[in-house]
Every structure is written in structure tokens, then in C-alpha cells.
Amino acid sequence: MEILESQNKQYGFYGTTVNSGVTGIKREWAAAFRWVASAMPQWSAENIRNFLDSRIGRHLADEALELRGVANVDPARWRSLMYEYAVEAGIVTPGEAKQHLELLRIAAVLEKSQAELRAVTQAISPESNGPSAAYMVLETSVNHLSWIADALKKL
């Protein structure tokens, strides 16, 4: 994905980062751009740039500065704000935003279930003549949950 330049170098993510005294703004901007692209894969480069240039982008910069880099910011905590912005900007309808957030919530539940199943499979010691049928079923279930959760996040 092409990383577009900020159109709001006085405000938003860019302006807040520069005004805080951070050197290497191009590197920080690129990291933030990739961070948003990863969190919101359906967004265009223009959507990402406009988000970072917005008031919410300024708040993202504040948290990134506090945590010493946008890579340390948890995108799951920001998705509601990203969808709020997407509705305001006309990227999605309120109904679509609600639906996407619900799918992400379900993906998080599946990931938790996956972790719990993985703990169970690790507790089952495979027999010396190969894994038991129960172990194989659990391991397959863990993999399926992972695939489903990943697919939901991409919707």
C-alpha cells in the first residue's frame, strides 16, 4: 500500500507528533499508516491518511507518544473510534460499522476459545504410539477457530 503524505501537518497525528519534539516524523507517519492499514484492511490509502489527519488521529498520536511508538498501541482498543470516524467520513454506514464491530467481538471470543482449547491439547499427553483421537480433534478445532477468527477480522 502506498503511504500518502499528511495533508494536515499542523494537527492530527502528524502535527501532534511534530509538536511533541519527535524527530524522524516520516518514519513515525509511515509506522502509523501501516498500523491503521493493518487494523482496518478494508480502508483505502486516502481513508487512512484522512483518519490520521483527523482529531482522532491526534488522540492516536498522544497515545503513541505515551507508549513510545504506535506499534505499542493496541488496535483492538481503537477499533470503535476508527469505526466512529468511518461513519462520520461516510466510509461505512452506522449499520455496517455495528456489524463489523460485532464480527470483531466474535473473532475475539473465538481467539479466547482457541487459547483455552490449545491449553487443553497441551495438557493431553500424546500416547507413545501417536496422538489420541481426542487430541487430534482438539488440535483440529484449535486450527479451525484460528482460521475463522482471522477471516472475521478481514471482513
24-51: per-residue pLDDT in tens? 899 999 999 999 999 999 899 999 999 9
Q: What pLDDT is recorded for position 129?
A: 57
Instruction: List, in order, residues 6 or more apart from 146 with CB less than 8 Å away.
Output: 111, 114
Average pLDDT rounded to a whole number, residues 63-78:
92
Of the pLDDT bands very low, low, confident and very high (cuts 50, 70, 90), residue 62 is very high
pLDDT for residue 15 is more than 90: yes
Q: What pLDDT is recorded for position 16?
A: 95
Residue with cell 503511504: 3
Buried b / exposed e over 65-96, threshold 16 CB at 10 Å, is beeeebeebeeeebbeebbebbeeeebbeeee
What is the distance, to the nearest Å, from the Cα of residue 80 to the centroid of all Cα atoms in its chain? 11
pTM: 0.70
Number of Cα atoms under 13 Å in the Cβ half of residue 125: 2
Average pLDDT rounded to a whole number, residues 98-108:
82
Q: Which three cell numbers stand for residue 99?
A: 456489524
